[in-house]
Structure 1
């Protein structure tokens, strides 16, 4: 059963044609429901909100771009295809010790890593206090010695933090798409400098293409072209993998065998992931997208 709702949440029937259920807002109980309903419909409501039905909770900035989804029957599962495929870094780095997530959303990646990678040190960095305010609703674990959520600017955090991350996950969006302050070379250079020797950068690319146009080319430059981009058609996303190791050369045959072990351990379709990644790498999709974005 889901935990009891925080008393400051204001609920109203969903006004959206395609998103049925209940809308949950961080608003006082005396708020005007008609005004909030109108703001939701014309997209002038300035904060994130949750839509809940009898099976799932969804986090939105607007209904054109879903931020996160959680199955009520299995809150720690990765419900969206793109979140599952962001975990493909385990193919290349099966025993990460230190992970940072830039952009919390509903915390699906944090919860999955917390439960399935129990020895990992995990930091989530989220700039919006309004997103963090939904932490309890999405059943995120409390901060402890190995798990923490920081309210901070992701770019500034990567500039100042100490080196040694094995994995940097970037899943940062605003109401239009990929967060503009992160779509630049300086951010990518700071990530490159803070990764461990075999570290991996994983970026979710979604929303309006203009919001991340050119980012793939910048990543190709920052990571000496050791970048693979593959599509997640189920969600309309692309995933970018960038590798810190010099002269990175995937051992595809070994990875296909390793993928079967990961599927048995984590319950995700790693064999399908590695097939897609190998095909994208051999077709040079990252270079094609980089040229298109220039």
Structure 2
């Protein structure tokens, strides 16, 4: 495991130890001051003895890993991102933009042995923390790539079954992904029944308009659900030509998926059906113009 600099947490509301990508001779007082005034330039980890959390600053927690169950999905929004399995239960190829603490890629790696996985991460310091979050080493079915997500997508091969996007910087949603060009590239690179799943979080201004762009590019075949626990929204965009969910069948299938993966798929299916019937994606798109 990468040796990290350890510092008692200086934050009132986050107890434990701060783990930082710094040499042994770094000055604790200077690092503490940078953490508190949010000028510290790298991601850091807080370990409270039960979980490890990835932060860019203490206001925006990026990832959580339970030390007792490191391969499970601790945050509700990551669980809801897996709802794509209702519509595409056996993807051969999943690509993830935004590694974070690696929760999604680890879950897929351990639970879906037949799937080829690639995670694309812009920040080398995030990749440097992969051992801290117990991410497996690269192997024939798992690759972690250091690249800009938009550039990578433009140059990768077609045929992605599921494209997961969970990409943020200190200000919020990654700017290079917040435009129509990204959605058009995603549409082009997805397989015929491929699914794009995006975590929308942070300041709403950073992703305002994205839902409308997705609706335009994916011909209105978009579902948006909220994640009240985390303050996020999850967007699912479906490339399938005539996407018509069979909700009654899906509610039954959700029970099978819950038994297999341990996630609350019945609740996800209910929320997605309700969102579809209420037209929430269109309402959110209009509200954010």
CA distance in 2, matches of 1:18, 1:183: 32
**1:6 Cα deviation after fit:** 2.7
Q: In 2, distance between residues paired with 1:235 and 1:63?
A: 15
Q: Secondary structure at the match of 1:221?
A: helix
Indicate the residue corresponding to 2:7 in structure 1: 12
1:244 aligns with 2:249: no
- What does 1:9-88 align with in structure 2 at a 5 Å threshold? 9-88=4-83
Matched, 1:193 2:202: no
Partner secondary structure for residue 61 of structure 1? strand
Q: How many residues align?
A: 289
| Paired residues of 2:2 and 2:128 also in contact (CA < 8 A) | no
Runs of 4+ in 1 over 3 A off after TM superposition: none
Counterpart selection for 2:283 from 272, 288, 292: 288
Matched, 1:206 2:201: yes
**Aligned equivalent of 1:148:** 143
User: 2:64 touches 2:74 (CA, 8 Å); kept in 1?
Assistant: yes
Alignment of 1:243-282 (within 5 A): 243-282=238-277
Q: Deviations over 1:240-261 (max 9, x none)?
A: 0000001211000000000000
Structure 1 unpaired stretches of 5+: none
- The secondary structure found in structure 2 opposite 1:87 is helix
- What TM-score do the two structures reach when normalised by structure 2? 0.99
Q: Give TM-score scaled by structure 1 length.
A: 0.97
Instruction: State how far apart, in whole Å, the 2-side matches of 1:109 and 1:59 are.
Output: 14
Partner of residue 169, structure 1: 164
In structure 1, how many angstroms separate the alpha carbons of the residues matched to 2:143 and 2:109? 10
Q: Secondary structure at the residue paired with 1:31? A: coil
User: Distance between the aligned counterparts of 2:34 and 2:206, measured in 1?
Assistant: 24
3-state SS, counterpart of residue 184 of structure 2:
helix
Whole-Å separation in 2 of the counterparts to 1:247 and 1:113: 27
What is the aligned partner in structure 2 of residue 130 from structure 1? 125
How far does the alpha carbon of each residue in 1:61-97 deviate from its partner, in whole angstroms, 9 at most, with x for none?
Answer: 0111110000001110000000000000000000100
- Give, in whole Å, the separation in 2 of the partners of 1:288 and 1:214: 12
| CA distance in 1 between partners of 2:12 and 2:129 (Å) | 24
Q: Give the distance between the partners of 2:77 and 2:171, measured in 1 at CA.
A: 18
Q: CA RMSD in A?
A: 0.6
> Could you say what secondary structure the match of 1:111 adopts?
helix
Q: Contact 2:119 / 2:145 at 8 angstroms: preserved in 1?
A: yes
